[in-house]
Amino acid sequence: MIAFTLRRLLVAVPTLFLIGTASFFLMRAAPGGPFDADADLEPQVLANIRASYDLDKPLFEQYLIYLRRALTGDFGPSLVYKDFTVTELIGIGLPVSMRLGAMAMLIALLVGASAGIVAALRQNRLIDHLVMAMAMTGIAIPSFVVAPLLALLFGLYLGLLPVAGWNGGAWRNMVLPVTALALPQIAIIARLMRGGMLEVLRSDFVRTARAKGLGEWRVVSRHALRPALVPLVGYLGPALAGIMTGSLVIELIFNLPGVGRYFVQGALNRDYPLVMGVVVIYAGLIIVLNLLSDLAYAALDPRVRRQYR
């Protein structure tokens, strides 16, 4: 396991390098610039502003400056948010995004896994069909469609919950964005859990446990649950990273001060350092979460653990 972890970490370094390089040149290739809105300024003033951010240097020299700063965790100053560095903005917004993503995933795990287990234990009955119908609906409708509908219904029509703002992380402000993020994941997790549980319930060791006279609850909790979680655990790493990156649009819809809002506004305003910094941070987060998912997968399945030795 240690050798496997070290190999994955060694692969992560060139992966982050390639992602950072691609984001740098793709941002520079996009039309427009960060100071297009200041076109009414004197040319000399614009030239001085560009020089203060090293944008007057050749492209390759800018790339080397970016690499040197990134290696020390310094992505430079933001071009749009004055008096803030990219590191400071990420430090402000990342806890918000991580809190939203973690809460949404926790709710999705509890609700989706429970629904999947119930559907598997009641296969081809009414509750199974209802769970699968709701799961397919949740998968088909993306969160950026669900979010405005939730805001319209619970915020504007019923007036029960605020439709925007963070308010220091108050629970009333988090209900709608967390729900919008969690619903698609609940649907996917329910289907995965149902499929994994059905496969395990047909296994020989489960039949043996039932033949020994064990109750259904003990069979499920002590024998079937752990192997049924294997496909779900393999999905959790990319899903958790995806739910955090998927919060980009949700944060913009609900006007939350997360990294997602900074990223979208930075992309629209051609804030090169901010966009590249967020991309690298999210890429590193995805790599770490995928590694943790693989390690948990190996802990649950001895066959996979033997392959990692």
pLDDT in tens, 197-254: 888 888 877 778 777 777 777 777 777 777 788 778 778 777 877 777 667 788 888 8
Separation between Cα atoms, residue 224 and residue 105, nearest integer Å: 23
- What pLDDT digit, counting tens, does each position of 246-297 carry? 677 888 888 888 888 888 888 888 888 888 888 888 888 888 887 787 777 6
The mean pLDDT of 154-180, rounded to a whole number, is 87
State percent of the chain over pLDDT 70.
92
Q: Which CATH class is domain 86-307?
A: mainly alpha
- What pLDDT digit, counting tens, does each position of 61-110 carry? 888 888 888 888 888 888 888 788 888 888 888 888 888 888 998 999 99
Highest mean pLDDT among 38-47, 252-261, 295-304: 252-261
Q: How confident is the model at residue 304 (pLDDT cuts 50, 70, 90)?
A: low
**Which pLDDT score, from 0 to 100, does residue 253 have?**
86
Separation between Cα atoms, residue 13 and residue 30, nearest integer Å: 26
pLDDT surpasses 80 at 42 = no
State percent of the chain over pLDDT 90.
4
Domain ranges for the chain, please list them.
86-307
- pTM for the whole structure: 0.80
The mean pLDDT of 163-186, rounded to a whole number, is 88
Q: In whole angstroms, how far apart are CA 19 and each of 76, 125, 198?
A: 18, 48, 39
The mean pLDDT of 9-13, rounded to a whole number, is 80
